[in-house]
Chains A and B, each alone.
Chain A
Amino acid sequence: MAYSASFNPSGGGAIAGLGMTAMTRDYTKSASGLAAEAIRLAIEDAGLTKDDVDGLLINAGVTQGVSLGLQPTLGFRNLKLVNHMNAAGSTAGQMVQFASLAVQAGLATTVACVFADAPLRPGVSAGAAYGGAANRPRGMASLAPAYGFFGAANTMYALAARRHMALYGTTQDQLGAVAVSTRAWATMNPAAMQREPMTLEDYHNSRWIVEPFHLFDCTLVTNGAIAVIVTSAERARDLKQPPVYVIGMGQGHPGNPRRAGYENEVNTGAITARDTAFGMAGVGVGDVDVRELYDCYTYTTMVTLEDYGFCRKGEGGAFVADGRLGPGGSHPTNTGGGQLSGYYMWGMTPVSEAVIQTRGQGGERQVPQHDVVLVSTQGGILDHHATLILSPDPAAGTAKGSR
């Protein structure tokens, strides 16, 4: 494994609190108001008070509704650590990483990490919020809208999926299988926005957005906020909730090389991030019990599974097709309904469900074996990747034996 530093995972960070607002298509309040609610809920969940918080990491969504100004807005005074972080959809994983390192190094003791966004307002559709039709660029950038390249992420991920289909024979049914298994989990999650059961036929009947993506290949734009409280492993043991230890972390950023010789549409930063994260944790891919993967699109789940090594490159389609990702399957994945059927809180979607599963608080959807929980957060068009490996056991790596 590539990882060789002296970091001691069991002496590192832990997630001690989780706060989630309602996940909704309705506009209830501003992104700052949502952030305040999520942070308050996370502090209460941990059994702490506002004054215990000495660090704040902020991640804004597409509307950039929160920024450094969130600190004075929420009345946090005399903090030891603050940043407004941006590595697109990978930021949530990165916030937990930097917070864990900060508490381990003694920069702060109790760091609130928050994502908040309210893109849906009266008169503003999901397509308008994320589609980019209001922009009027000049120069070379003016070409894309002239060709009709709108719906930025939908379009670019659809084109990436097409490349995978052409190279490896991946089928529409296989993309659909991801949508169906993810929805099956969502039916058991009260926080999920889409809880009606879905069949493969329903998937095929959902309207085209941009081929090869149907509506059910795409995430659900959501208003809401999620916060977690990161503290030291030692302190987390004395708090209210079962500690969620951060036993491994890593990042990978392929750098958007859109030129001959690179297959950036079918390879993600997980290829690099996984070696650092698994090496640090002292576990192998075969030890992972639960996968919470950034699933802005069905294709993202499939390509991410390949890049972590759950199957070989190009075999993701066949791997997901038998329903093994769903409830009762051999590879439980996106157990809260993910972003496809649950809620789109960027990287906080996989982080939040991973905290719930690691604690064993998933209720009807709890995966019985949850010693090693993998979290992937993904940004840009497969450009940025941050991995977390979480466990209820700080010595999970030792227990599994280093491989």
Chain B
Amino acid sequence: MTTEAQRPVPAPDDESAPFFDGAARGVLMLQRCRDCSAFHWPVCEVCTECLRDDLEWVEASGRGTVHTFGVMHRVYHPALAKDVPYNLAVVELDEGPRVSAAMVGVSNEKIRVGMPVQVAFEEMAPGVFAPKFKPR
């Protein structure tokens, strides 16, 4: 008997807890620098724009545009064999940071650079949600 390969799932830790707690409530959380107001993704210790370290978690709009995307055909992880071809996308959030994620609610052939999108959370493990994006 073979054991089925386990799908990689998000694994929240202390640092990322505000993000994953927000995702579970259906809210996209981002860090913002209290000094220069720059938004950040993913979690950072210092602000890349001013080097200060006074960062707060705030609710983001969840809106953005597709900056670029690809369609994966190669099976790098055995648990994803039944998913190929699947899409991967980089979304530029209205707040500025670019997020690596995936698109839902649209076929791979219809994804376009510049497409306006809205966050859509998906439960990827019991109680663990992650942001994907759908056309808006």
Enumerate chain A residues within 8 angstroms of B13, measured Cβ to Cβ.
138-139
Interface residues on A, range: 35 or more
Chain A 124-155 interface 0/1 with B at a Cβ cutoff of 8 Å (1 = within) = 00010001110011111111111111110011
A-B contact count (CB 8 A): 125
User: In the complex, are the beta carbons of A162 and B88 less than 8 A apart?
Assistant: no
- Roughly how many angstroms separate A323 CA and B83 CA in the complex, as a whole number? 37
Enumerate chain A residues within 8 angstroms of B71, measured Cβ to Cβ.
208, 210-211
Neighbour of B76 across the interface among A138, A150, A207, A265, CB < 8 A:
A150
Q: How many B residues have CB within 8 A of the partner chain?
A: 42
Chain B 1-42 interface 0/1 with A at a Cβ cutoff of 8 Å (1 = within) = 000000111111101100100000000000000000000001
User: In the complex, are the beta carbons of B10 and A143 less than 8 A apart?
Assistant: yes
User: In the complex, are the beta carbons of B12 and A139 less than 8 A apart?
Assistant: yes
- Roughly how many angstroms separate A148 CA and B16 CA in the complex, as a whole number? 20
Neighbour of A143 across the interface among B7, B70, B98, B101, CB < 8 A:
B101
Neighbour of B88 across the interface among A132, A136, A148, A213, CB < 8 A:
A148
Enumerate chain B residues within 8 angstroms of A131, measured Cβ to Cβ.
76
User: In the complex, are the beta carbons of B11 and A159 less than 8 A apart?
Assistant: no
The chain B residue with its CB closest to the CB of A147 is B102
Minimum CB–CB distance from A54 to chain B (whole Å) comes to 40
Enumerate chain B residues within 8 angstroms of A260, measured Cβ to Cβ.
92, 96-98
Chain A 234-265 interface 0/1 with B at a Cβ cutoff of 8 Å (1 = within) = 00000000000000000000000111110001
The chain A residue with its CB closest to the CB of B73 is A208
- Roughly how many angstroms separate A148 CA and B10 CA in the complex, as a whole number? 11
Enumerate chain B residues within 8 angstroms of A210, measured Cβ to Cβ.
70-74, 88
Enumerate chain B residues within 8 angstroms of A147, measured Cβ to Cβ.
88, 100-102, 130, 132
Enumerate chain B residues within 8 angstroms of A154, measured Cβ to Cβ.
74
Given known contacts A146-B10, A260-B92, A132 and B19 CB-to-CB distance under 8 angstroms: no
Of residues A141, A147, A207, which shows the largest number of chain B Cβ atoms within 10 Å of its Cβ? A147
Asked whether any CB of chain B lies closer than 8 Å to the CB of A399, the reply is no
Enumerate chain A residues within 8 angstroms of B112, measured Cβ to Cβ.
166
Given known contacts A208-B85, A211-B85, A259-B97, A166 and B9 CB-to-CB distance under 8 angstroms: no
Asked whether any CB of chain A lies closer than 8 Å to the CB of B67, the reply is yes
Enumerate chain B residues within 8 angstroms of A360, measured Cβ to Cβ.
none
- Roughly how many angstroms separate A370 CA and B74 CA in the complex, as a whole number? 40
- Roughly how many angstroms separate A213 CA and B73 CA in the complex, as a whole number? 10
- Roughly how many angstroms separate A346 CA and B76 CA in the complex, as a whole number? 22
Interface, chain A (partner B; CB < 8 A): 127, 131-133, 136-151, 154-155, 158-160, 162-163, 166-167, 207-213, 257-261, 265
Told that A148-B77, A208-B74 touch, could you supply 6 new A-B pairs with CB distance under 8 A? A132-B76, A142-B8, A146-B124, A155-B72, A208-B85, A211-B70
13 contacts between A and B (CB under 8 A): A136-B11, A142-B8, A147-B88, A147-B100, A147-B102, A148-B72, A148-B88, A150-B80, A151-B72, A160-B68, A208-B74, A210-B73, A261-B96
